[in-house]
Amino acid sequence: MAGNPAKQKLWGGRFTGETDPLMHAFNQSLKYDQRMHAADIRGSIAYAKALTLVGILTKEEETKIVQGLTAVGKEWESGQFQVQPDDEDIHTANERRLSELIGPLGGKLHTGRSRNDQVATDLRLWLLGQVSEIEAGLVSLIRVMVDRADKERDHLMPGYTHLQRGQPIRWSHLLLSHAFSFTTDLERLRQLIPRISVLPLGSGALAGNPFAVDRHFLAKELGFQSLAENSLWGVGDRDFVIEFMMWASLTTTHLSRISEDFIIYSSAEFGFITLSDAYSTGSSMMPQKKNPDSLELLRGKAGRVFGQMAGFLMSYKGLPSTYNKDLQEDKESLFDTVDTISSCLPIAEGVIATLNVHPQKMRQALTMDVLATDLADYLVRKGVPFRETHHISGRAVALAESRKCQLNELTVTDYKDLHPDFGDDVHGVFDFEASVERRQAIGGPSRAMIDRQVAVLREKLGG
């Protein structure tokens, strides 16, 4: 449609001059907000029904509008929708096309409604649909981790602090530690849903709807759990966008942390795991290389997601009340965040489902010094205070280092010289499996506690 842009815009009646073409392009959001086309049509159909209930539309008019909107939706789905130069956003585009299909009657749809409450409604509707898919992806990722941990509990490995070997643990224990992080992400995501599921429609531009539309009807029709009780807040709130992006920032941080672990463990220096070829790439120069690019990309995406959140939060922080055009910055940040987290979860799942574990390499990394705490605990069981046994065990480590031998290679006499409470059974301490199995308190890496963790996580996932 050619002609005067100002006269064709929803807000154009006040203006007599033409919009600068650069300003039109600067202002336009259709290039990215068209992904909300289904949410916009769904909201408009519900609003048409609400207008009928208050007598603004007849039942016949409602039917024609709903049929027209349905046709517009099919055009979007089939890729046949023709965007026009003056389509500023998805709302303008859909209303313009509706009027082309059903005539002037299409203009009645905007009665009492503003793009301010319309865009807030569309964004919440769209995000609710995305959250449902993301939730399913997160559940699937956690399930793969739990199933793998359940099957591979026999594999022992060093547990690390400061990237230094600390104590023996099970590979399953490490995997489940990350699964618990993702489970808290799942809980937070589910807690977020009620704060997204708040209906703004019926708030108007800022001062509410003058035609007494039934907002409870609208909420029920669109599946919202509640409605915005204050119209100023309803059109101006984007806390739900920021909160979702904060959630995504933390979740991708957890993806980054497990990626860092696996990048280290897949290196030749460790050799604990090998990524499948499906999630690795080679070097353009060094033919021997097998790079964990999937994990490196997952690690890198955390910075991208956090950047999107921080950027929009800075735009949001200084805004006065209700709707301001700065809020248009919410969409690209949110859309990119949703796209990123939606692609990260299945990649992480694929990596974890297909990687190969090398239990012998893990076992070889277990040196006797990781049982130094068990040596101290041996004396604790004889009644010696832990602070004293800690020093005694440290002296044993120093003695073994001076002799260039392992702790288990020191003699019983050596141990009795360190403390008289060491007995002939002291070498029984030097058993990695026994060490792990002694950790029977809730949260530990023993078989019984792995069973418990697996059961807890499966219960949280619903079986």
Nearest-10 Cα torsion for 437, 438, 439, 440: 80
Which amino acid, residue 27?
N
For residue 347, which of 278, 274, 290, 248 has the smallest C-alpha distance?
A: 278
Cα atoms found within 13 Å of the Cα of residue 85, Cβ hemisphere only: 11
For residue 44, which of 102, 94, 100 has the smallest C-alpha distance?
A: 94
DSSP 55: T
For residue 121, which of 209, 186, 182 has the smallest C-alpha distance?
A: 209
> Is 358 one of the annotated active-site residues of the chain?
no
Distances (CA, A) of 356 to 93, 143, 150, 165, 265: 51, 18, 15, 22, 11
Q: Do 291 and 282 form a contact (C-beta atoms < 8 A)?
A: yes
For residue 118, which of 187, 178, 185, 47 has the smallest C-alpha distance?
A: 47
DSSP 19: P
Catalytic residue among 132, 267, 276, 283: 283
Catalytic residue among 162, 178, 342, 419: 162
> Is 283 one of the annotated active-site residues of the chain?
yes
Q: Do 251 and 341 form a contact (C-beta atoms < 8 A)?
A: yes
Reported as type and span, the H/E element at residue 169 is strand 164-170
**What are the catalytic residues?**
162, 283
